[in-house]
Every structure is written in C-alpha cells, then in structure tokens.
Chains A and B, each alone.
Chain A
C-alpha cells in the first residue's frame, strides 16, 4: 500500500499491530481520526497511554487494578476464602458478568504447555501456592480450559500443594466444548459455577 505521508504510514503500521486489524481497517481508522478535531485525537492518544502507564496488576491476584490491590480483593463483602483460578483477565470478566461467584480470583496468565514454550515458571503458580500457605483458603476452584493443557495445569498445581489441606474443585469441564471459557455463554457458565465438581484424586 503506497501512502502519501510517512506520518500516515506510521500510524497505519501501529494500528495494524492490533489483533484482528488488517492494513485496510487500520487505514480506515487512521483516516477517521484525521477528520477529527486535533484536541479530540490528543485526548484519544493520551487516554490510551495513561491506561497503559498507570494501570497496575493486583499484587495478590494479578487482576488489573487501579491500586496495589484490586477492587475484588479489597471488597470485604466478598468471600476471601475462596479462590477461582483462571487463565486470563477475560475469564474474570466472563465469570463476573454471571454474578454467580462471590469469592476472589487468581490469574495464572496462561496454562502449562511445553509445546508452546510455556512452563510453570512463566505462570503465577508460585504466588498461588504462597497465597494458599499464607491465607485461610477453604476452596480452590479451577476454571481452566477443558483440554489437556488445562488438566496438566490442575494436576501440576495439585502436586505442588499436596502438603496443604484445602478443598479443590473444578467447574463442570467441557462446558465450552473444546473452546475457551470466554466463549461460554453466560447461562452455561453460571450453571457450571454453581455445580462444581471435586477434582478427582488422580495425582497420588
């Protein structure tokens, strides 16, 4: 694509780095911004930079947060003795929108998959074990993808916390049918949160 300005070209290049945005869409977005008032666009850019610069990750659960501790962790109305273990922030948003869970979360940042170069070290597993050691945890609920890597992650964590006594459950797996949690519709997700199952004592 030949563009008449290198400034335009740079902007298009930046936009097309976004997931699901191709060169054509990027150009359309940039041309749209070009039609706007300078102050408008200034505000747009600053909002984004500020978001990235100022946003924090909760020191306890790794959720996005405005402070050191997120709004879920600091909410005394929530059950602080139940932890729902999820892969990413989108899963938190999906579960929160069902309004069926009143505990806290722990965001791993992915699941174990040596094939994709993701080992336990790259995930927030150690901090989860620390949490269970330090806090009074009554139930650990796994809400991970219903696939092999999800299983590996559950069994691995279970192995790592064999010295700790805490009820371990999983939401009914296979809910999203080979898909990921974020694609499960709210009703199914709500139902499987209500009917959680004990993780089989598979790792002895």
Chain B
C-alpha cells in the first residue's frame, strides 16, 4: 500500500511555504484557476519522477523572485515510513533524497513511488506527434524495468555520437568507416533491447487499453491500436546498413527506435481525424488507466493517481464510471482537482467514498 501522508512545499512555483497533510485516501482539491492546483499535483509527480510532469526548464520550478526550492513528502509504503525530498540549492544544484540517502543518479529513483498523472494537455498523446507516444510508453517501461531507462539513455547518447560523426564526415568529406561500424554495433545492441521490451509490453498493453475504453465509454467504437516500428520487418543493423548513404547525405540517423510510434485506428481509419471529442477523451483515459493497471501489476503497489481538471473533459456519465473505477474499485490514493467545489463534492458523495476536501 502506498499513501502520501504529508507534503511540504518551499519556494515551489506559487507556493512560498505550505504544508499539507492527508487523512483520507481520496483528496479533493478545489480553487479558482491560478491558485496552484496543477502545481500541487506536479509537486507530487516531482517526488516520483525527480522532475516536473511538464517539460519546462528547471528554473521555472522555483518561485518567481526567490532562490532555491524544496519539496518534501512523507509516505507510508507497505507500512513503512518513507521520506522523499528534493532540494534545489541557490546555485541551482539539485539534490534528491530517499530517507537519509542522497541519490547519485536520479534515474535510480524512477519506479520506487509509482504515480500516474492525467492533465488537460494530455490529449496531445492522441493528436500530437509520435514523440508524445514514445515518451508515454518510455515512462511506463522505465518504472517497470530499471534497465530500460539506462538502455534508453545509452541509446540516445550513442545516437548523438553517430549524428555528430555523420556531420563531421560531411564537413571534412572523410568518413572513418570503422568508427561508424562501431557506433552502429553499439546503437543496434541497445536499440534491439528497447524494441523487444516495447513489443512485448505493447502486446499486453493494447489489450488492456481496449478493455478500459469499453469500460469508460460502454462501447468499443471499433478501435484498433498498433505498434508501428521499422524493426518489425528488419533488424536494426540491417536497417542502419541499408540506410547508410541516406544518413550520410542527411547527416542524421533516419532509422531506429527513435522513430517508433503507436497508431490508433477507428473502423480502420485514422482515429485522430474521425473521433469525436468524447471518444478522444475516452481513449486518453483508457490509455492512462491501462498505465495505472500495468504499474499496479508490475510493482505490486497501487500507484498514486493525480487527476487534474478531469471534470472539464468528460460528460457526467463517463465521469461517474471513471471515478467509480479509480476511487471505489481501486484501493490507491487519488488526488482530484476542480474549480467547482460543489461539483467535485457532489460527484464524490455520489460514489459514496470518504474524502478530504482541501480549498487552495
């Protein structure tokens, strides 16, 4: 069992110094736009992932005009008390602690406190470019398999080196073929590992997403989801070899797991163009709930769920299904934000779950 018992925010975004403690499993946060509801959830996310959910520069985490910041959380994990804290010093040096121990590598912390966030901009996962979907899958896999994140970091470093070599070869009109081959070998080794992991993972994950969609929308809408990768037909090494001339000409690596994507179809056509607002949102929640399920199974801990402004995104009926699912059927901790205090309280009373209301 995982539960955040209290959190302390110092100089984090709009919070100068605030402490909160949580007594119930379901915590409702309300307040007008701009009071810091999203920042509040992001602080919890931060303690799980050592960084913000939003790809913003680190300097924006610190309260405007102040220096340094600190986020500290006390958790109860399987009846053990755990303290996680992140300190950004005045010098911008970031420190991350698990109890008394400071991490040497932040990546070691990923997966220790499983957490899933659903935020308004997440619809980019469906409508945005492939990078969004790779990031989504990578975030899940990094939490489940500690090696995965390291493979990914290594892969990206080798990719950078290879692209630099391609650029230098074009500039000097001279290529060290042995060096390119060496980098190809290194890149293929990591690329194949990542591909295998993604393929294996998606074969189960896709089934789960469809199941969740059915639950929220109460129909299947003939949705199909496919893993789209160049490696389904050829090995990375073969692809690097056959693309070599092109890569040298374009001075960057045109094939690899950094081109992977997930395709969403509805009745065989592009989901993005065909789907209604409600269907898009249903798919988004289905993806996130499937993420939640996977983490729960893999980590044997129910993740903390952060729902930001979800009421604006779903009609009452779908909302009711969702809340029932995450607050009643699941036993994990849930944080929900809404601008409308009454709507939030009523919805939670309706599913008969005890909750704590915090007005920000």
- Contact check, A156 vs B161: say whether CB atoms are below 8 A apart: no
A123 CB, nearest partner CB in chain B, Å: 11
Are A119 and B176 neighbours in the complex by a CB distance under 8 Å? yes
Give chain A residues whose Cβ lies under 8 Å from the Cβ of B105: 178
| A117 and chain B: residue at smallest CB distance | B168
B104 contacts the other chain (CB 8 A): yes
Contact A159 B104 (CB under 8 A): no
Contact assessment for A156 and B104 in the assembled complex, using a CB-CB cutoff below 8 Å: no
Q: Which residues of B148-179 are within 8 A (CB) of A?
A: 154, 157-158, 160-162, 164-165, 168, 176, 178-179
Name the A residues within 8 Å of B104 (CB-CB). Answer: 177-178
| Cα distance, A34 to B58, chains bound together (Å) | 45
Proximity string of chain A (121-143) to chain B, C-beta cutoff 8 Å, 1 when within and 0 when not: 10000000000000000000000
Chain A residues with Cβ under 8 A from B161's Cβ?
113-115, 148-149, 152
Within 8 A of B (CB), among A156-181: 156, 159-160, 177-178
Q: Are B168 and A152 in contact (CB under 8 A)?
A: no
Q: How far is the CA of A83 from the CA of B165 in the complex (A)?
A: 29
B83 within 8 A of A: no
Knowing A115-B164, A119-B168, say if A152 contacts B178 (CB, 8 Å): no
Complex alpha-carbon distance, A117 and B182, angstroms: 17
In angstroms, Cα B179 to Cα A152, docked, is 8
C-alpha gap A177/B105 in the complex (Å): 9
Is B186 touching A159 in the complex (CB atoms < 8 A)?
no
Q: Are A148 and B158 in contact (CB under 8 A)?
A: yes
> Is B181 an interface position by the 8 A CB rule?
yes
Q: How many residues of chain A are within 8 Å of chain B by beta carbon?
A: 20
With an 8 A cutoff between CB atoms, is A95 at the interface? no
Report how far A159 CA is from B104 CA in the complex, Å: 34
- Check A120 for interface membership: any CB of B closer than 8 A: yes
Residues of B within 8 A of A186 (CB): none
Q: Is B330 an interface residue (CB 8 A)?
A: no
Whether A152 pairs with B176 at a CB distance below 8 angstroms is: no
Structural contact, A160 and B178, CB atoms closer than 8 A: yes
Question: Which parts of B24-74 form the interface with A (CB within 8 Å)?
Answer: none
Which B residues are CB-close (under 8 A) to A160?
A: 178
Q: A155 interface residue, CB < 8 Å from B?
A: yes
A203-B164 contact, Cβ under 8 Å, with A112-B179, A120-B179, A159-B178: no
- A182 an interface residue at 8 Å Cβ cutoff? no
**A148-B179 contact in complex given A115-B160, A178-B104, C-beta closer than 8 Å:** no
B185 beta carbon closer than 8 Å to chain A: yes
- In angstroms, how far is the closest chain A Cβ from the Cβ of B135? 22
Q: Is the interface of B mostly helix, strand, loop or mixed?
A: helix
A159 to B186, CA, bound (A): 13
Q: Is the CB of B185 within 8 A of A120?
A: no
Give the Cβ gap from B210 to chain A, nearest Cβ, in Å: 38
- Report the minimal beta-carbon distance from A99 to chain B, rounded to whole angstroms: 28
Nearest CB of chain B from residue A20's CB, rounded to whole Å? 16
CA distance A148 to B185 in the complex (A): 12
B160, A159: Cβ atoms closer than 8 Å: no
- How far, in Å, is B218 (CB) from chain A's closest CB? 49
Pick from A120, A152, A177: contact of B186, CB under 8 Å: A152
Determine whether the beta carbon of A151 is less than 8 Å from that of B186: yes
Cβ–Cβ < 8 Å partners of B183 in chain A: 152
Task: Please give the distance in Å from A2's CB to the nearest CB on chain B.
Answer: 27
Say yes or no: A159 contacts B154, CB within 8 Å. Answer: no
Q: How far is the CA of A156 from the CA of B176 in the complex (A)?
A: 10
- Are B164 and A148 closer than 8 Å at their CB atoms? no
Find out whether the CB atom of A202 lies under 8 angstroms from the CB atom of B189.
yes
Residues on A with beta carbons closer than 8 Å to the beta carbon of B178? 120, 156, 159-160
**Which residues of the other chain, A, contact B189 by a CB distance below 8 angstroms?**
202
Nearest residue (CB) in B for A202 is B185
Complex contact B186–A148 (CB within 8 A): yes
Please name all residues of chain A whose beta carbon is closer than 8 Å to the beta carbon of B157 when the two chains form the complex. Answer: 148
Please indicate the chain A residues that have their CB under 8 angstroms from the CB of B181 in the complex. 159
B160, B168, B182: which contacts A155 (Cβ < 8 A)? B182
Which residues in A have their C-beta under 8 angstroms from that of B176? 119-121
Shortest A43–chain B CB gap in Å is 39
The verdict on A203 contacting B179 (CB below 8 Å), with A115-B164, A178-B104 known, is no
Per the bound structure, the CA–CA distance linking A203 and B158 in Å amounts to: 16
A144 to chain B, nearest CB (A): 14
Bitwise interface map of A from 89 to 133 toward B, beta carbon under 8 Å scored 1, else 0: 000000000000000000000001111010111000000000000
Rounded to whole angstroms, the CA-CA distance of A2 and B81 in the bound complex is 57
What are 5 inter-chain pairs, A to B, with CB distance below 8 A? A112-B179, A119-B179, A148-B157, A148-B161, A202-B189
Mark B residues whose CB is within 8 Å of A: 104-105, 154, 157-158, 160-162, 164-165, 168, 176, 178-179, 181-183, 185-186, 189
Given contacts A148-B186, A152-B182, 6 further A-B contacts (CB under 8 A): A112-B179, A149-B161, A152-B161, A152-B179, A202-B189, A203-B182
By Cβ-Cβ distance, the 6 closest A-B pairs, closest first, are A114-B164, A114-B165, A115-B164, A156-B182, A148-B157, A155-B182
